[in-house]
Structure 1
Amino acid sequence: MVAKVFQKFNHLIISLVSIGVFIESAIVLCSIQVATKLAFQKNTKWYQKCMDSTKNYFIMIVTAILSIAAPSKVRITTCDDSIAKGRFLMDSQKGRISSTLRPNVVVICNHQIYTDWIYLWWVAYTSDFAGRVHIMLKKSLRSIPLLGFGMSNFNFLFMNRKWADDRINLLNTLKELDANARGLGPLAGKNPINVDEEGVAIWDCKSQPTIEEKTASSKCWPYTFLLFPEGTNLTDNTRSKTLKYANKVNKKPFRHLLLPHVTGLLFTLETLEPSIDVIYDVTIGYSGVGRSSYAASKYSLKQIFIEGKYPKLVDIHLRAYKVKDIPLKDEEKFSEWLYNVWAEKDDLLEEYYTTGSFTEDSTKATTVVDKFNIRTCEFLLVALVPSITLLFFLRWLYFF
């Protein structure tokens, strides 16, 4: 009994400290962003470098906090037939998993809990692409104090969920991402070659950089665009809705997934086609979740940070699809392709809930396991901000 009370008290302290560290760090990051806006108004290259640094630092903060409040392990499995062996490995120098993923990719994933995006962002971080991650979010999130301002400066896309309102905004943002990735955008000092009557910027689509140029930030600015085609978490409520929709469109519903939405993903791939050649498909599974339970109800933000209930193991399965093999020019065929991808994901999750992993055949897949963490030096850097704040506060108390 005493041990349980002490454990709850200990986790409460960790949660309160985590919240404090997060708020302090968010204030510092927003302050850096304001200073960047003032200092580099006319130097777009240095402006973007500074903003990318704050984006990279943000995922370091979140990872550091989760590694203390919810110290999970991560097991990454890659299909050898689509992702070459050695793309993920344990890096002894960095003290964590390191990867060499392709630049300029769209990452699609099933959506189970609100922290899914953190693990996807962390995967990009292992390839040193954390500063170039872009996420599509609900417009209401832009109103969150501090976070909304910071995410706006990250160039995240805030959507109304109404296609008529979102189309032009999404199109211009994606076209600029594509142009910057090919060294033909504003970050390379270039302008659109024209603007049509709807206000859509038209960029040069003919020039194509080499792989080496794609990874050289001095000319090209690679992107990793995260998308959840299901649109929301899997719950009893959303499952009920997707069952009705599946019957309406005459599709067989999935056991462990919602039906994916076609429009946003197809539009994104069509727009980014000049610079993108690979899609990464990610399937996430959480230990402690079975066929009859939902990760969203088992690992809510409250349960993770307040009650100390978190997945001991996060399983991440990756496979790659070449864009040239995807039928982008035919919406009906693309819809069928995406449905088949989700059907395969559903089978992967069925295997996961049966065996406890995404694959037991080591001849067809590569697996790397490590703690969900960042480098020790980066962890110390994250801890530096609240430490300095605490010292100033104590000094202020002393003089007061």
Structure 2
Amino acid sequence: MSSVQQQQSRKPTIYQVVRLVFAILTFATGCLSIVFSQLLVNVTLGGDEGLRTRWIGFTKRNFVILITFITSLTCPTDLELSFDSDTVSCREVLANAERSLLKLNTSAILIANHQLYTDWVFLWFVSYLNECAENFYIIMKKSLERIPILGYGMKNYDFIFLNRKWDLDRSYMIQRFAHLSSVKKHWLLIFPEGTNLSPNTKPRSDDFMTRQHLDFKLDHVLLPRVKGLYLACKHMHKKTNLILDFTMAYSDHLATEYAQDSFTLRSIYLLGKGPKSLSMFVRAIDISSIDGCTFDENANEEEEEEDMRKFEVWLNKLWVQKDKMMDNYYKTGHLVEGVKSTKIPLKLRNRFEILNVYVIPIVFFVLTWLACRLITTLLR
């Protein structure tokens, strides 16, 4: 049993329980505040799409502020960011890193290996650092939109909900991708693996690779799925010709362990025993430079299948590189040796930013109270 798992087996202390209660109350009141703000915006600004989008974006940024505040309180973590100097100008991107500001391209498709259910939290936090948190979009299972309160909030955020049935999802994805590419700023997050690495998913991935007679092996990642990412590239590349590729590795667990088992929601948010650091290696990929792919929107079905096969070969090679980086991380502590990393703590730039989460309901109730007092006075 690893040290992390041993710590998880211990009973929580009074302090940890109190901290958890505070975190739950903060999350619950924050979510209610955000959803109430969205409802108010939809009712009052529904006729002005520009203003509505701006204020919904404000509530979207507030959600990552809320989740960052809670995560930094319960389980402080450092991001160790490193970049591929051949594709990313490190000097430009990190010019204001000491102020927790990044300067990556604000219109891109994001891809990453998937280890924890909470991977999206850290990537959304990177968008917060990059000043585009309000333009962050996630592809997720359709069942999640039925979660009470949170489902309504996610639908307002224009997240993309999939049935995971190609015949049902294809036309919907094309429509959503076309819309996103028309938005000035957008980070679209896609986990090509489709699910996180676990004792259940790894054997299924390996079995599929065996049946497909693939001539490579993946030890630390799952075989990526090609269709969703291909479709995004095909229908967004004319305006969004960039993929930001993140390779993510968590500290404090062994190569023989699954991160999802070492860092459960209980261990992170109750016991405060999460990864001390998260290493991210980022490279930028020009979509138009992907070998052999045309991404022709007018291609017939046969031509699209052929183009997709070429894209699949490219994506598999990329995932083999990720697997090698992960192997290197477990052996040396670095995803890529000889590349300097920049440490940025997962926390808000200003602790008072958390008040933004509650500002719309507070202003609404204060104005309502003042209006009631005024009406009461006039009626006397």
Q: TM-score, normalised by structure 2?
A: 0.85
Partner SS for 1:99: coil
Which of the residues 304, 323, 337 maps onto 1:360? 337
Change (3 A) 1:318 1:6: same
* Aligned-partner Cα distance in 2 for 1:32–1:384: 9
Which of the residues 276, 279, 293 maps onto 1:328? 293
* Aligned-partner Cα distance in 1 for 2:40–2:267: 36
Which segments of 5 or more consecutive residues in structure 1 lack a partner in the other structure? 182-220, 393-400
* Aligned-partner Cα distance in 2 for 1:67–1:97: 14
* Contact 1:134/1:155 (8 A) holds in 2: yes
Residue equivalent to 1:299: 263
Whether 2:39 is the aligned partner of 1:62: answer: no
Whether 2:374 is the aligned partner of 1:374: answer: no
* Contact 1:278/1:322 (8 A) holds in 2: yes
Residue equivalent to 1:224: 187
CA shift for structure 1 position 332: 1.6
* Contact 1:284/1:315 (8 A) holds in 2: yes
Q: TM-score, normalised by structure 1?
A: 0.81
Residue equivalent to 2:25: 20
CA shift for structure 1 position 15: 1.1
Matches within 5 A, 1:279-290: 279-290=243-254
Change (3 A) 1:6 1:241: closer
Whether 2:177 is the aligned partner of 1:174: answer: yes
Which of the residues 26, 33, 57 maps onto 1:52? 57
CA shift for structure 1 position 154: 0.1
CA shift for structure 1 position 73: 1.2
* Aligned-partner Cα distance in 2 for 1:265–1:290: 30
Q: Percent identity?
A: 29
Whether 2:324 is the aligned partner of 1:347: answer: yes
Residue equivalent to 2:39: 34
Question: Higher helix fraction: Structure 1 or Structure 2?
Answer: 2
Which segments of 5 or more consecutive residues in structure 2 lack a partner in the other structure? 1-8, 295-306, 367-380
* Contact 1:142/1:149 (8 A) holds in 2: yes
Residue equivalent to 2:281: 317
CA shift for structure 1 position 246: 0.3
Change (3 A) 1:295 1:87: farther
Residue equivalent to 1:217: none
Change (3 A) 1:51 1:23: same
* Aligned-partner Cα distance in 2 for 1:128–1:281: 18
* Aligned-partner Cα distance in 2 for 1:257–1:376: 36
CA shift for structure 1 position 328: 3.2
Residue equivalent to 1:85: 90
CA RMSD of aligned residues (A): 2.3
Change (3 A) 1:384 1:39: closer
Partner SS for 2:253: coil
Of 320-329 and 272-281, the range deviating more from structure 2: 320-329
CA shift for structure 1 position 97: 2.2
